[in-house]
Amino acid sequence: MKMKYLAITLLITLMNMTLVEASELRKSCFSIEGMHCGNCIDKIKSKMSENTAIKDVDVSLRDSMAQVTFDPEKTDDTQVLSAVKNAGYKGKVIKCAK
């Protein structure tokens, strides 16, 4: 019984941590110049994954843009753009479509 109680307590704690973390994340969108294939997408995602504050990256070759979800307490748009530049592309912050 004690083990079941501990497991439930741990599960509730983890769920609460996930909810708090998700609400504190920020989404920004970036136009990216020069992408022309799937390898370009992989290269950009790879460079962004080096920043542990970046939680999710959705890159669209068709729209030449990326939507990036990150922890604003640990990184910012400038650092995301730096990852784009380090991957070999030009980028700028744009308004995200709804």
Query: Which two three-digit tokens encode residue 53?
Result: 């504050």
Q: Give the pLDDT confidence of 53-94 residue by residue, as tens digits.
A: 999 999 999 999 999 999 999 999 999 999 999 999 999 999
Model confidence at 9, pLDDT cuts 50, 70, 90, reads low
What does the domain layout of the chain look like in residue ranges?
25-94
Domain 25-94 falls under CATH 3.10.129.10: no
| Spatial distance between the Cα atoms of 89 and 95, rounded to a whole number of angstroms | 19
Report the predicted TM-score, pTM, of the whole model to 2 decimal places: 0.74
